[in-house]
Amino acid sequence: MTYTVTKVVEWGKTMTKHAVSSVRTTKYYILLIVLVIISISTIIASFAIGYYSIPIKDILTLIFKGEKYVPSNVAIIIKRIRFPRIIAAFMIGAGLSVAGASYQGMFKNPLVSPDILGVSTGAGLGAALAIILDYPNFMIQIMAFILGIIVVFIAYLIGTRTKYRQEISLILAGTMLGTLCSSFITLIKYLADPYEKLPAITYWLMGSLAKVNNQALLFSLLPMILGTILLYLLRWRLNILTLNDEEAEAIGINPKRVRLIAIIGATLISASSVCLGGIIGWVGLMIPHLTRGLVGADYRKSLPISFLMGGTFLLIMDNLARTLYAMEIPLGVLTSLLGAPFFIVLIIRGGRQ
């Protein structure tokens, strides 16, 4: 009799766990569908927003029927100006959020952002050098991308050749190199022509999508998509990286190899994002926190949600940047204005708990 009661209790616990898991899975898919709808709606609405307002009817006509059914000026504005900017804003926000979420789990630190290994300051240094050398826009983009990757590569070499834990060594190396690059950027700004070069460098470092065109978008989109796919394919291994290296190896996972692949994916995303839109901070820090509050820390669920939330968030911020004031507000300034209070609230709530 006792054995039968015990089996019934165990069966009840198992069924309860399955029921809870099923409810959570259902909620996740509902949230995913809602975010997809919100993202698509935001993208379509963004084509209508601007100093030249475009009716939603014309936008839908262009999408489903073609440009010959709308006025020529509307087709030009949508295809050459708003399309590359809107796609760039969504993909940068989505990519930085995915990279930030991956890094926060990989380094076991919720305050880690995509630029922790110095990719943003490295790219900023590359852009500053290109601007002061009077290179054209596409060369500014290329130099920013290359320098960002080089800095992360050096940080990885330094971080993997110390006796300390690899996560801590990488963070320290990235912080050191980021500070070094910032010093060189300051020196370049000091030496730059104060009437032409200095304003261009300062504006680029503040982050903006005002100069994004189809050519620039095409250059950055491929590595951004490649890095995002790479991290998504690693999603269940990223869960294992939250364990100690010894525990990961006991499961049969090589943590150093997975960490290297994750760094490559996140670096491709971050470097291409910075070279396309300048330094846009806080997105890769805020959105992963919000995502964990909604779906937990399981990367199989959090990465797709981070992708959609990050893309929609930055697209909304860019819409505000180009419509709030007569002059366009730098996008990096807006995200910082939201990011700092967000973490103040987070710290206060954490202290109370």
The CATH class given to the 90-341 domain equals mainly alpha
Cβ 265 vs Cβ 227: under 8 Å: yes
What angle in degrees, to the nearest 10, is found between the helix axes of 2-48 and 56-64? Answer: 100
| pLDDT the model gives residue 319 | 94
Using one digit for the tens of pLDDT, what is the confidence trace for 201-212?
Answer: 999 999 999 889
**Residue 135 to residues 149, 156, 176, 201, Cα–Cα distance (Å):** 20, 29, 28, 12
| pLDDT the model gives residue 350 | 56
Higher pLDDT, 3 or 232: 232
Average pLDDT of span 93-97? 96
In the structure, what pLDDT confidence band is assigned to residue 6 with cuts at 50, 70 and 90? low
| pLDDT the model gives residue 179 | 94
Using one digit for the tens of pLDDT, what is the confidence trace for 254-301?
Answer: 888 899 999 999 999 999 999 999 999 889 999 998 898 899 888 999
| Cα distance between residue 23 and residue 32, in whole Å | 14
Higher pLDDT, 153 or 2: 153
Cβ 297 vs Cβ 291: under 8 Å: no
| pLDDT the model gives residue 15 | 43
**What torsion, rounded to 10 degrees, do the Cα atoms 74, 79, 84, 90 define?**
70
Using one digit for the tens of pLDDT, what is the confidence trace for 25-81?
Answer: 889 999 999 999 999 999 999 999 888 888 888 888 888 888 888 888 888 899 899
| pLDDT the model gives residue 338 | 85
